[in-house]
Structure 1
């Protein structure tokens, strides 16, 4: 496999990120197939704290997004991971893993206290994420909600992801606050 280059998203990547996200989630039955709209809404709301692109041979093949979350106990500086997307032809080659490792390293460099996500149990544990009875996301089964504390302290309560995660379609072009359009 050719080397993977990881870099920050640029405005020129918007279309490729959209296409990568659509392709990556298309075969997943559990997906609502709105992940591309979530990324768009996060971008419009200026809520992409870390947004990385993976390239192979100069072509974007993967993307990962991290955005702030709110914790009911008031603990600051926690972030949500997702979505993470890799083109199907490039999956199982370490690109997602590289994006996750780099993204977590960047969050730590920003003095983040932790990260959480909704994802596949067999995959995310290898990065140190764990299910915790003290932290939850309303409406999400505990076996697919994961958290990773960077400072050794796990908050208690419920997590709220950015409102952009409710996006179900393209963001309104006239929207100034980043909320998804209808």
Structure 2
């Protein structure tokens, strides 16, 4: 873990740094279409950025995670999507992403969320308690990349639709 790193909610002064960190984090990933920083901006502009946390070290933003509401076709309410999650490439494998995810999930639970889902790497998110959820899907996404974590009740069944900001 990066010593003396803090995780807190974003403030307006963080917006440029969030864009920069997100762009750098996804710049070399083959699975990325490089839209991630624009997704965050679009979520913020639409008022759909329900929770936006930054990791700050030595006065600089070195990581960010976004949470936004999702719709589930079975009518289940209170579910959120995690993502994008970004860590500055200068801070790999130092617990930045882990701290952001854990804090974000704890805050969602304290707000009364029913659960959280995401599209992500098959081996990364299981350590937080996320699992593949048979019966839950996102159009165009292979099932091994969709993960869910119920905070209360069961995992819903149906199609998950992320906010339209993800289409920017």
TM-score (structure 2 length as normaliser) = 0.98
Structure 1 distance, partners of 2:105, 2:5, is 17
Structure 1 distance, partners of 2:46, 2:162, is 13
Matched pairs, number: 167
Structure 2 distance, partners of 1:135, 1:3, is 39
Deviates more, 1:120-129 or 1:1-10: 1-10
Structure 2 distance, partners of 1:23, 1:162, is 23
Q: Aligned-pair distance for 1:134? A: 1.2
Q: Which residue of 2 aligns with 1:100?
A: 101
Q: Which residue of 2 aligns with 1:66?
A: 67
Determine whether 1:111 maps to 2:116: no
1:75-102, CA deviations, whole angstroms, 9 ceiling, x for partnerless residues?
0000000000000011210000000000
SS of structure 2 residue aligned to 1:117: strand
RMSD (CA atoms): 0.7
Deviating runs (4+, > 2 A) in structure 1?
none
Q: Aligned-pair distance for 1:2? A: 2.4
SS of structure 1 residue aligned to 2:132: coil
Structure 2 distance, partners of 1:42, 1:117, is 16
Determine whether 1:6 maps to 2:25: no
SS of structure 1 residue aligned to 2:124: helix
**1:1-182 correspondence runs (5 A):** 1-167=2-168
1:36-63, CA deviations, whole angstroms, 9 ceiling, x for partnerless residues?
0000000000111110010011111000
Q: Aligned-pair distance for 1:4? A: 1.2
Structure 1 distance, partners of 2:26, 2:146, is 18
For structure 2, the 5+ residue unaligned runs are: none
For structure 1, the 5+ residue unaligned runs are: 168-182
Q: Aligned-pair distance for 1:152? A: 3.6
Structure 2 distance, partners of 1:101, 1:4, is 14
1:96-118, CA deviations, whole angstroms, 9 ceiling, x for partnerless residues?
00000000001001100000001
SS of structure 2 residue aligned to 1:20: helix
